[in-house]
Structure 1
Amino acid sequence: METPDNATPTGIAAKDWATASAEPQYRAAVIDLLGALAYGELAAFERLAEDAKLAPTLADKAELAKMASAEFHHFEQLRDRLTAVDAEPTAAMEPFAKALDDFHRQTAPSDWLEGLVKAYVGDSIASDFYREVAARLDSDTRGLVLSVLDDTGHGNFAVEKVRAAIDADPRVGGRLALWARRLMGEALSQAQRVVAERDALSTMLVGGVADGFDLAEVGRMFSRITEAHTKRMAALGLAA
């Protein structure tokens, strides 16, 4: 849900964690959310470290290694937060491991450029989703979620490298556009599946403990995510 920067928070968004977490269902939803985010960051670290092996130059390898390090730091922040709210991090992450692992297995890149597009497109879709959710979180949790969604630099790096590759060989663009469309479909399906399987999380999204969301708003939320994807594709020089 996009709200003006100067809008006064209401409902859950106006509360801090200590107050908001008195509602058991909200607490369960936040632990789910932090668990999903934490495993996503851990998986991103692993993937970037693996992608570095495909890098064509030493400078590219070093750049990906730096990004992987940033993702692991985000994971540590989320793990520590889960511990601080008396949740066991591994148990919080476990329900989301299979869906994320399946996504990464089904979308394994075949080369360096596909890996860059996957990180840029896939990670951005996930970040858009979590930012939408963050608007309805308590102030403490919202601050943490937004901080770990900070761009690690992969976006600009991917755009620069992909556009250069397309300029050098325009045929590359068609292949990468098809790849990005596949990633978009898989990422949205995964996000919807994860939400549907977790009662507390789905209740938060459709209007239970996080006031203001309803089924129609969830539909609009996914529409906004799709629109943002179209703009990123244009930045890459690809047709959405």
Structure 2
Amino acid sequence: MSDSPAGVVDLLGVLAYAELTAFLRLAEDAATLAPTLTDRAELSDLAAAEYANFRLLRDRLSSLGVDPEGAMAPFVAALDDWHAQTRPGDWLEALVKAYVGTGIAADFYREAARHVDKETREIVDEALAEEVRSQFVVERVRAALADNPKLGGRLALWARRMVGEALSQAHRVAAARPDLALLLVSAIAQAQDDASSEAAGGRAEAVTDLVEIGRLFARLTEEHGRRMSALGLVPGP
């Protein structure tokens, strides 16, 4: 049985399942949407990296005495729903999802990782490294926009849809997993003293503080805008 805080186990569990599903979706997109064999190979490389990250997180859970499947199980519905709502219709949509959609999720997990132990934080940071993904996707999307600038409006709308779905699922997860939500809303966690933590319902009230959650999502939105600009797309409101 694990002695790790519930929030740490939740963070590793949700991230492990996110990496596993990213591997499966990228592999599918590579097989069905990639226009050339080179593109298929590039996206397959990204899929392989996601699977390696999944194994890293799975092994960390096991080392903590946690059953990986049990840790991932609470997040299956939310992540599967997000993927179902954001299934790409073509190659460019798949690339934007791989960069923008996965990117905002990564920011979400990085926020939580600020408040875990050093070893777990380092593993999370390693799993969320995106330099390779950035180079490949940015080059492909920018080249497509240079050839046909009219694609920009459609892809920007697609990216906004993904982010909206991601934030919706994030609220859902935060409501269901308060220990994970406490990691995300750092100002709340730091403001709590011993008396408030012992008070009945104190943690639930803190987690649902809309002001602090709003600040969190403002930071996520700022990073989303940076990624959109990197792709040559106009960030939405």
Give the match for residue 129 of structure 1.
108
Give the match for residue 10 of structure 2.
32
Give the match for residue 102 of structure 1.
81
Which amino acid counterpart does residue 57 of structure 2 have in structure 1?
Answer: L
Q: Could you tell me how far 1:169 is from its partner in structure 2?
A: 1.2
Aligned-CA RMSD value: 2.0
Give the match for residue 3 of structure 1.
none
Q: Secondary structure of the residue that 1:189 maps to in structure 2?
A: helix
Q: Tell me: higher relative CO, structure 1 or 2? Use CA pairs within 8 A at least 6 residues apart.
A: 1
* Superposition pairs of residues 81-96 of structure 1, within 5 angstroms: 81-96=60-75
TM-score, normalised relative to structure 1: 0.84
Deviations 1:37-64 (A, max 9, x none): 0000000100110111211111111111
TM-score, normalised relative to structure 2: 0.85
* Superposition pairs of residues 3-82 of structure 1, within 5 angstroms: 27-53=5-31, 54-82=33-61
Percent sequence identity is 56
How far apart are the structure 1 equivalents of 2:168 and 2:132? 26
Give the match for residue 150 of structure 2.
171
Q: Secondary structure of the residue that 2:5 maps to in structure 1?
A: helix
Change (3 A) 1:58 1:148: same
What stretches of structure 2 of length at least 5 have no aligned partner? 193-205
- Aligned length, in residue pairs: 217
Correspondence for 2:97 among 111, 118, 124? 118
Maintained 8 Å contact 2:101/2:166 = yes
How far apart are the structure 2 equivalents of 1:210 and 1:80? 28
Change (3 A) 1:206 1:128: closer
Which amino acid counterpart does residue 75 of structure 2 have in structure 1?
Answer: F
What stretches of structure 1 of length at least 5 have no aligned partner? 1-20
How far apart are the structure 2 equivalents of 1:199 and 1:130? 15
How far apart are the structure 2 equivalents of 1:211 and 1:140? 21
Q: Secondary structure of the residue that 1:211 maps to in structure 2?
A: helix
Q: Secondary structure of the residue that 2:66 maps to in structure 1?
A: coil
